[in-house]
Structure 1
Amino acid sequence: MSKSAGKKQKQASFKSGVSPIPTPFTKAPTSLDPFLEQLDPAQVYITHIDRHLVETKKQIFQIPVLLNGGIALLLAWRIYAAFPFYWAILLTLLGYPSSATVDTANTTRNEQVWILAKRTLVFLADFLAFRFVGVWPLGFFLEQPCNPVIWRWKIGFRADEIVVRVSRNWGAKDLMDGVKQGEENAFFKTRILPAIEKQLLRQKTGYLLMDKSWDLDFQLMLDAHTLVKQEKFEMKALDKLVLAHMDGVGWIAWQWETDYDVVEERRKKVVAFKEALTKAGKESLFWKWMDILENERDTDGGFTAEGQQRVADRVQVAFAKEGINFEELTKDVGGVEGLTVKKP
């Protein structure tokens, strides 16, 4: 064998060892197979755990319930009020006399044009209302196989909730096809990175994360909770994951924040929290806060939803007595998560 042939063989062997999976993705863990089997390979998914306070989630969800409920009632009233008008129009079209029949012999051309214009405007207004506004309550209350109401009815409001976002108007091909894949891809930079920005996830509950690039898959969120309950995998396995399907490889995943990152961020937040109180001459409140946390943890054996809310209430009262606005203070150190919810 010639030296050149040997070099070619060695070079080919080296290339074959290169992983086809683009950075920062890796092969999705097999433990998630029961969940991955239910995903659409054409889509990209983001999963994380929503740890906002239960009371906050309730308040946020009340807004779309009231809004869509109000719209549904208005549309129902419009159907009731407009039925006689449209029934009369239908009778006229079928050749029967009705209140909508125009007496052409005793009306002028201008009057007839005005009647036609008014009815056209009514038709147009009703069409636009039901076509573009009516879809909101329809999807909110009746969309199948799952909708926000069914989702909330089945899981209620929990301290830890699995959120599953699915790409909207783009998908896995946009992310994985072409020369630039993974983190070098434009869709990774413009669709994925903004969607996992820390400040965004601190400010918004899972339900508020729908936008032009991402939708919520309520059925998958229910399925994920069911699989966790069945002990197919732990809930934390779906925390902070980006999932995509790659031809010839299968499902690949990127966990954008590890457990170490979470612990380290909480440690830094607690340090900043203590320093802010010390600077205000209220360091004793830091130890008061620690006492409240330990007391609630010992009472419940952990942080239940009720325990979290009691912590928040007790801390706010204690700080208010010292003239400190707890909410304003926590905003300065990056939010309440990690301070009143879980111990770092």
Structure 2
Amino acid sequence: MTKQPPKKPKQTSFKPAASPIPTPFSKAPAALEPFLTQLDPSQVYITHIDRHLPETKKQIFLIPVLLNGTIAALLLYRIYTAIPTYWAILQTLLGYPSSATVDPTTTTRNEQLWILAKRTLMFLADFLALRFIAVWPLTFFLEQPSNPILWRWHLGGFLADEIVVRVSRNWGAADLMQGVKQGEENAFFKTRILPAIEREFLRTKTGYLMMDKSWDLDFQLMLDAHTLVKRGEVGMKGLDKLIWAHMDGVGWIVWQWETDYDVVEERRKKVVAFKEELTKAGKESLFWKWMDILESERDADGGFTAEGQQRVADRVQAAFAKEGIDFEELTKGVGGLDGLTIKKG
């Protein structure tokens, strides 16, 4: 009986399991664990660095300070003037004569109805003011564990670089990470997250102005983040332009919405727009002059130093002014040329 050759084992191809983390998120780095422990897993967060000028932040912040301060003063004045009236009405309700007592024998039915209508409107107006308006100054000045005033006080005023932490309002991680469509395919990603990180929105608004129906500011978490940075437990750049969400079975996941490639591409687009504006004005030669100045300074001994950047600014502004072009106004029109040159002053 001939011996049968042993059968070859059946070839089986193994495919790696698809990552449970939805695009464009990835696992949050362990280095950010000190910050992650401060977050609520049920919420979605946005962190970025507010680099607007401190003076701009100060001017914008003074508006709600004055507004809420005025509202608080008016409400306190109303309470002060209303106390005698309400006390008199209370005495009447308890059966004691007071200035609010209405004598039915000396007043007509129409007069009684008019008094009733006035007091009803007074009760309604005071209730609405306390219920819907008083909450503004109360949360602004007294909300705990932190509020805008405490945030600015403990932050030490207005900084050049401030960590902004936005937290989802009236929705959360469950809406973003549950169901068939998750991550970038989710409707909440498209309608709540993308509009909140739109480039023009971030460019024109300071962190304090980013509260809306979908996002609130977590003032205590912003202070905690700065504390972690001061201690060296977390790097500030590590919190810039990130979306945070917690996923069951995975933990915290994160998406950085702008990469180094995006920065380079954005600068390229600005340079192109800058050249097009000069071409429209019949001053294309100024674009090449600008390029020559940049290159000559980069090639100089010592590289493109801070002093070299200042020399570039002086030479460029002088060259453009000679042709009747305001260099700063032109660059503002294309969104600035940060990273390519430096403005004077």
Give the TM-score band, short-chain normalised: 0.7 to 0.9
Kindly tell me: are residues 223 and 6 of structure 1, through their superposed partners in 2, closer, same or farther at Cα, counting changes over 3 Å?
Answer: farther
Give the match's secondary structure for 2:15: helix
More off after superposition, 138-147 vs 85-94: 85-94
Structural mapping, 1:193-342, within 5 Å:
193-270=194-271, 272-273=273-274, 276=277, 280=281, 281=283, 283=286, 298=306, 324=326, 326-327=328-329, 329-335=330-336
CA contact (8 A) 1:50 1:205 kept: yes
Work out whether 1:171 is the aligned partner of 2:151.
Answer: no
Q: Which has the greater radius of gyration?
A: 2
Q: Which structure features the higher share of helix residues? A: 1
The percentage of aligned residue pairs carrying the same residue is 72
**CA offset digits 1:194-246 (Å, max 9, x no partner):** 11111111111111111111111111111111101111121111111000000
CA distance in 2, matches of 1:210, 1:80: 32
Q: Aligned pairs, how many? A: 316
User: Aligned residue for 2:4?
Assistant: none
Deviation of residue 262 (structure 1)?
2.2
Could you tell me how far 1:260 is from its partner in structure 2?
3.5
**Aligned counterparts of 2:202 and 2:67: Cα–Cα separation in 1:** 24
Q: 1:86, CA displacement in angstroms?
A: 1.0
Displacement of 1:272 after TM fit? 3.9
Matches within 5 A, 1:147-162: 147-155=147-155, 156-162=157-163
Superposition deviation, residue 286 in structure 1: 5.7
Cα drift, residue 266 of structure 1:
3.3
Question: SS of the residue aligned with 2:196?
Answer: helix
Q: How has the CA–CA distance of structure 1 residues 46 and 203 changed in structure 2, closer, same or farther, with 3 Å as cutoff?
A: same
Q: SS in structure 2 opposite 1:14?
A: coil
Q: How does 1:59-78 map to 2 (within 5 A)?
A: 59-78=59-78
Conservation of the 8 A alpha-carbon contact between 1:45 and 1:166: yes
Residue 322 of structure 1 and its aligned partner are, at CA, apart by: 5.3
- TM-align CA RMSD: 3.3
With over 3 angstroms needed to count, the CA separation of the structure-2 counterparts of 1:134 and 1:125, relative to structure 1, is same
Shift of 1:264: 3.9
Amino acid across the alignment from 1:137: P
The superposition leaves residues 288-307 of structure 1 with CA deviations (integer Å, 9 ceiling, x where unpaired) of x98xxx9xx848xx9xxxxx
Render the CA deviation track for 1:305-333: whole Å, top value 9, x for unaligned: xxxxxx9xxx8xx97x9563845x34421
List runs of 5+ in structure 1 lacking aligned partners: 303-310
Q: Distance in 2 between matches of 1:68 and 1:128?
A: 17
Q: Is the 8 A contact 1:202 1:337 kept in 2?
A: no
